Amino acid sequence: MSSLRLVSLSGVMNITDDEWLLPHEYATRMRSFPPVILAAPDRYTGYQSWVERMGGEIRVELYVTFSLTPGDQSVKVNYETKLFEGISENTDDLDGQHIGSTIIDKDGAGEIKFTVKNTDEGGDKADIRMYVVNARFDQGASGPPAH
Ligand SMILES: [Ca+2]
Ligand SMILES: [Ca+2]
Ligand SMILES: [Ca+2]
């Protein structure tokens, strides 16, 4: 039995750059990533990364790992988010972090929602929503139909 899965990630980040005296800055960033193919026994894991910069001071880095469980064809999603805030969008000042994981059943989908806050200085945050789909991948389905 084949165990080919097509795992796709899309999502939205709503990012707030807290400002002193000036109005806060806001950005909404949406992404839809190309699907990752997982196949037992060749490729059990896949990766996706998502980086956004905004407001002159903020960078959000999101790293996602997909791991296939061949038995039930579920996919475990591990994710880590880092919120950097400093004198530029390339700052190395790590001010907030969030780590989590969830399992997406075979032929299932799931929404993952969380907020990463600037726990060092307050104010800045990223509200993140991810949508993960664990679909069956039919080899050859993208080719011309057979007659
Ligand atoms: Ca700021
Ligand atoms: Ca700013
Ligand atoms: Ca900072």
Q: DSSP assignment of 1-27, as one string?
A: ---EEEEEEEEEEEEEE--SSSPPEEE
Nearest ligand to the C-alpha of residue 123? Answer: 1
Q: How many angstroms does the Cα of residue 109 sit away from the middle of ligand 3?
A: 35
The answer to whether residue 144 scores a pLDDT higher than 70 is no
The answer to whether residue 2 scores a pLDDT higher than 90 is no
pTM for the predicted model, two decimal places = 0.90
Tokens standing for residue 136 = 């069956």
User: What pLDDT digit, counting tens, does each position of 46-96 carry?
Assistant: 999 999 999 999 999 999 999 999 899 999 999 999 999 999 999 999 999
Nearest to 71 by CA among 145, 1, 143, 147: 1
Q: How many angstroms does the Cα of residue 38 sit away from the middle of ligand 1?
A: 40
- CB-based contacts of 144, cutoff 8 Å, min separation 6: none
CA 49 to CA 78: how far, in whole Å?
12
Residues in the 5 Å CB sphere of ion ligand 2: 17, 25, 55-57
Q: How many angstroms does the Cα of residue 113 sit away from the middle of ligand 2?
A: 25
CA 50 to CA 106: how far, in whole Å?
24
Nearest ligand to the C-alpha of residue 55? Answer: 2
Examine residue 41 and say whether the peptide bond preceding it is cis (omega within 30 degrees of 0): yes
CA atoms within 13 A on the CB side of 111: 5
Report the greatest alpha carbon distance in the chain: 69
